C-alpha cells in the first residue's frame, strides 16, 4: 500500500476481512473507526507494554499477525529479494501455505503442496505478457527464449 491513511487502510480491511470477524489490532488510531464496522474489535496497547491479555476465555493479541508478517519479511530479505506487485499475492499465498503447514512433517507438507497444485498452471510467457516483462518462457522446466 503506497499511501497508508485511516481511509485507505479501512478500505483494504473492509474489502479483505469478513464483517462478522473480530479484529485484534494494536492501539493505532488507524483502526479506531474501522473496528466499529466489524462484529468485534479488541486492541492491545503496545506503548504501555501490553502485548496480550485474557478476556473471558479469549486471548487478545495481534502476535499471530505480527509473526506471519515477520516470516514474510524474512522470506523477502533472505530469499526473494525483489517481489513485484504483480506477483505479490503469490508470494503471500506461498507464505500462508508455509504458515498453515508449519507443524506438518516434510512429507505432509510436500503432499499438501502437490494436492494444491492440481489443475493449476502458470507459464512465465503468459505471466510476462501481463506484467510487461521479457518474453522468456519456462517450458518443460527449463528456461528458453
User: Distance between CA atoms of 60 and 42, rounded to whole angstroms?
Assistant: 7
pTM, 2 dp = 0.63
- pLDDT score at 140: 42
pLDDT at 1 over 80: no
Burial class (CB in 10 A: 0-12, 13-18, 19+), 24: buried
- pLDDT tens for 6-58 read 889 889 999 999 999 999 999 988 888 889 999 999 999 999 999 999 998 89
- Geometric angle at alpha carbon 105, from 100 and 110, rounded to 5°: 75
- pLDDT score at 81: 83
- pLDDT tens for 87-124 read 888 889 999 999 999 999 999 999 999 998 888 876 76
pLDDT at 135 over 70: no
User: Distance between CA atoms of 42 and 73, rounded to whole angstroms?
Assistant: 25
Amino acid at each position: 500500500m503506497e499511501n497508508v491513511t485511516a481511509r485507505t487502510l479501512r478500505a483494504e480491511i473492509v474489502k479483505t476481512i469478513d464483517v462478522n470477524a473480530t479484529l485484534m489490532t494494536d492501539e493505532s488510531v488507524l483502526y479506531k473507526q474501522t473496528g466499529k464496522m466489524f462484529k468485534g474489535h479488541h486492541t492491545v496497547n503496545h506503548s504501555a507494554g501490553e502485548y496480550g491479555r485474557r478476556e473471558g476465555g479469549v486471548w487478545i493479541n495481534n502476535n499471530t499477525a505480527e509473526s506471519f508478517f515477520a516470516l514474510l519479511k524474512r522470506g523477502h530479505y533472505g530469499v526473494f529479494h525483489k517481489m513485484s506487485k504483480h506477483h505479490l499475492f503469490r508470494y503471500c499465498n506461498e507464505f500462508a501455505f508455509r504458515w498453515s503447514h508449519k507443524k506438518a512433517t516434510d512429507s505432509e507438507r510436500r503432499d499438501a503442496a502437490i494436492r494444491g497444485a492440481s489443475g493449476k498452471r502458470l507459464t512465465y510467457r503468459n505471466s510476462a505478457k501481463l506484467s510487461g516483462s521479457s518474453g522468456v518462457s519456462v517450458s518443460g522446466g527449463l528456461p528458453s527464449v
